[in-house]
């Protein structure tokens, strides 16, 4: 597979993502900068974490107005696989490729820690190597990760299986104690109706090697190339 890793001014997880794709997955990967207008040559486009354009105005909004932002919309509308991690997730909501918005954490602190997540939908190209209901551990690192969507839309998203990951405790229970940032319905990751665009706040690219104490992140990447 040929992967593109999007690089906006202020992206900072781009090299981690590139490393995982090239060195751990053994796939072709290129960086594409914010002025890129075409993505046809790629099989999957990844928007990495970071602070694109310094998070000015709202996290992700300035990145969404670049030529690359337009190219990502065009690519996704043709059915291309798009993965947004952390700031990448914020950009995908600003591009309206994913529903909802990501707001300041409820407790107003930047959160940098491990969380448990329950896999609610394992039928996506991004999650097919997980079990449904499986509890996984990934790190989060964000100040604006409180997922919000109006109640009515939330219900239809649930019916369509668009809720992909929820924050949970070690045993898989969904409760407010296991919710790090105040996200509605403990949501950590969602997909679009078609299932080809997926955004999540946790960082699977940081959780791919035993050396770092993780084993779950790499499964997401293996799902993509399976």
Return the active site residues.
Answer: 86, 203, 205
Residues 6+ apart with CB under 8 A from 100: 93, 147, 148, 149, 153, 187, 190
The verdict on 150 binding other proteins (CB under 8 A) reads yes
Q: Which of 218, 220, 202, 200 is nearest to 92 (CA)?
A: 200
Q: Which of 104, 128, 129, 160 binds other proteins (CB under 8 A)?
A: 104
Only one of the segments 8-16, 58-66, 171-179, 197-205 lies at the binding site for other proteins (rule: CB under 8 A); that segment is 58-66
Only one of the segments 3-11, 30-38, 102-110, 158-166 lies at the binding site for other proteins (rule: CB under 8 A); that segment is 102-110
Q: Which of 2, 41, 54, 57 binds other proteins (CB under 8 A)?
A: 57
Helix extents (H) in 48-161: 61-64, 67-77, 87-94, 151-159
Q: Which of 105, 121, 127, 186 binds other proteins (CB under 8 A)?
A: 105
Only one of the segments 11-19, 29-37, 74-82, 96-104 lies at the binding site for other proteins (rule: CB under 8 A); that segment is 96-104
The verdict on 61 binding other proteins (CB under 8 A) reads yes
CB-based burial, 63-101: b 16+ in 10 Å, e otherwise: bbebebbebbbebbeeebbbbbbbbbbbbbbbbebbbbb
The verdict on 143 binding other proteins (CB under 8 A) reads no
Q: Which of 88, 98, 106 is nearest to 47 (CA)?
A: 88
List of residues contacting other proteins (CB under 8 A): 57-58, 61, 65, 94, 100-101, 103-108, 146, 148-150, 182
């Amino acid at each position: 597979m040929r992967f593109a890793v999007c690089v906006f001014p202020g992206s900072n997880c781009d090299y981690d993502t590139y490393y995982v794709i090239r060195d751990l997955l053994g796939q072709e990967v290129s960086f594409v900068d914010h002025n890129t207008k075409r993505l046809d040559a790629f099989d999957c486009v990844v928007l990495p974490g970071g602070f694109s354009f310094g998070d000015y105005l709202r996290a992700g909004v300035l990145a969404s107005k670049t030529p690359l932002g337009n190219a990502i919309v065009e690519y996704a509308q043709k059915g291309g696989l798009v993965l947004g991690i952390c700031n990448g997730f914020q950009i995908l909501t600003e591009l309206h490729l994913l529903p909802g918005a990501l707001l300041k954490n409820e407790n107003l602190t930047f959160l940098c820690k491990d969380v448990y997540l329950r896999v609610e939908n394992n039928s996506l190209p991004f999650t097919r190597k997980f079990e449904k209901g499986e509890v996984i551990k990934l790190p989060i690192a964000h100040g604006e990760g409180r997922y919000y969507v109006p109640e009515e839309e939330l219900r239809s998203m649930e019916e369509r299986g668009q809720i992909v990951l929820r924050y949970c405790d070690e045993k898989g229970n969904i409760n407010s104690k296991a919710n790090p940032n105040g996200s509605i319905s403990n949501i950590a990751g969602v997909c679009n109706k078609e299932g080809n665009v997926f955004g999540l706040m946790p960082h699977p690219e940081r959780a791919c090697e035993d050396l770092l104490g993780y084993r779950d992140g790499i499964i997401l990447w293996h799902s993509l190339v399976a």
